[in-house]
Amino acid sequence: MNQNQDLKYWHAINKIEQIGPSRFKKLYNFFPSMELAFFADFKNLKKAGFSEKIADLFTDQRRGIDPDKEFERLLADQIEIITIKDKNYPKLLKEIYNPPALLYIRGNLKKQDEFAVAVVGTRKPSNYGRQVVPMIVQDLTENKITIVSGLAMGIDSLSQETCLASGGRTIAVLGSGVDNNSIYPRINYNLAQEIIENGALVSEYPPGTDPRKEHFPARNRIISGLCLGVLVIEAGESSGALITAHFALDQNREVFSTPGNIFSPNSFGTNNLIKKGAKLVTSSQDVLDELNLSLATEYVKTQSIIPDTPEEAEILKNLSHEPTHVDKIIKKTKLPVSKVNSTLSMMELKGKVKNLGNANYVLSH
């Protein structure tokens, strides 16, 4: 079965009510394909681990779903699906408890997005919060860190706007569908379109899904799950941003918080996080140092140099902006001495590497 053939059944099943990550897991662990799962009878659904009530619901609701037509709509709206079985499924997200069985994506996810930090906070930032976000997010972006947030008004959207203005990549995780009619909040519709061009809109909910209240806590586990750490900038005592921070702790991710005025309601949540052990942040360097993300810039720059041959690819893997001696390159690549020397000479002519003298090489840009 080709990939698209099975993808349409993943999508079709995801449109059935009460089939979340746990029940999806029962299906893909029991059935050889999602097509077989979609057309399974009551008896086999029970064998897969469904209760009678859910098996009845499944067989009843699938009658109203046409997998082919539903998949055509996805293609027409340029919405991509990545399933948990796909090699391109985000590595960090796959590690969390109960990861989404599938993700709907508009835009694109890249390898460099593994170097990601979530920035979340209150929907009603103070002037202080509006000062802090650009100061920290711009620096993170310039260090090639992908910014993840929830497109909400306030700190979320401000962090994503700052990232885009700084030429960076950002991912917005929605509690609704990613289709144009479902994007929420509507006030950030234009921002969402910009994000599609310079990152991705992501959701576990199928297109056409309204932004229901119960979706947002579940959405928050994806925000933290995509990241190495979560930074909270201004949050009240019951802010939804604190839910994201708690998910981050459960997922063994770092939690960062900016301190605030002890008299400001917007600082109650962030100050409490610090008291409970969150890393206090006064600059982007605090985040970069704690997560050892100084290597992110080097990685992204390395990836931007496109190798012309397999030998060039091997050599690029072992070069950075710190000098590397040719003997070390030979040892790490396990290529013949003559091949390394000739390839390095050619790469220097192409402007990909620089010879600093004494057989020490660095990336040229």
| Same domain flag for 279 and 138 | yes
CATH of the domain at 46: 1.10.150
Domain count, the chain: 3
| Same domain flag for 290 and 261 | yes
Please check whether residue 244 lies inside any domain of the structure: yes
Per-residue pLDDT at 182 exceeds 70: yes
pLDDT for res 351: 84
- pLDDT 10s digits, 64-115: 999 999 999 999 999 999 999 999 999 999 999 999 999 999 999 999 999 9
| Same domain flag for 286 and 153 | yes
Please check whether residue 103 lies inside any domain of the structure: no
Query: What is the domain range of residue 64?
Result: 3-76
What is the spatial distance between Cα 137 and Cα 142, in angstroms, rounded to a whole number? 9
Per-residue pLDDT at 2 exceeds 60: no
3-state secondary structure of 299: helix
pLDDT for res 11: 98
- The count of residues in the chain is 365
- Residue 295 phi/psi, 5-degree rounding, is -80, -15
- pLDDT 10s digits, 261-313: 999 999 999 999 999 999 999 999 999 999 988 666 666 665 667 788 999 99
- pLDDT 10s digits, 229-267: 999 999 999 899 999 999 999 999 999 999 999 999 999
| Same domain flag for 313 and 214 | no
**b/e 317-326 (16+ beta carbons within 10 angstroms → b):** eebbeebbeb
| Same domain flag for 160 and 16 | no
- pLDDT 10s digits, 130-156: 999 999 999 999 999 999 999 999 999
| Same domain flag for 287 and 322 | no
What are the residues whose beta carbons fall under 8 Å from the beta carbon of 181, sequence distance 6 or more? 208
Please check whether residue 89 lies inside any domain of the structure: no
